[in-house]
């Protein structure tokens, strides 16, 4: 799960919460990254928005995929 990847990228939910300026309790309640937090989590962790929330940020096709269209 990408939320878990984001937490691991910074050393755990406490560090993610600190970097976002929110409580660890808030982060611990997430089943997935809230839409309004996706870009901040991406900046804080380096995990792409399309990995964090593919429903909101679909992955863009690569150049090779575009060439075959």
pLDDT in tens, the chain (69 residues): 799 999 999 999 999 999 999 999 999 999 999 999 999 999 999 999 999 999 999 987 666 655 666
Show the DSSP H helices in 1-69 as ranges.
2-10, 13-20, 24-29, 38-45, 49-52, 63-67
How many domains are there within the chain? 1
pTM: 0.84
- Any idea what the CATH number is for the domain that residue 38 is in? 1.10.260.40
The pLDDT score that the predictor gives to residue 60 is 73
Give every CB contact of residue 19 below 8 A, 6+ residues apart in sequence.
Answer: 10, 44, 45
The pLDDT score that the predictor gives to residue 57 is 94
Task: Please name the residue that has the structure tokens 């809230």.
Answer: 34
Which residues constitute the domain of residue 59?
A: 2-67
CB 7 within 8 A of CB 24: no
């Amino acid at each position: 799960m990408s939320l878990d990847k984001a937490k691991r990228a910074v050393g755990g939910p406490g560090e993610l919460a600190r970097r976002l300026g929110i409580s660890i309790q808030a982060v611990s309640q997430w089943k997935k990254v809230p839409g309004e937090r996706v870009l901040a989590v991406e900046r804080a962790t380096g995990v792409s928005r399309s990995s964090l929330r593919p429903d909101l940020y679909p992955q863009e096709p690569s150049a090779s995929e575009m060439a075959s269209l």
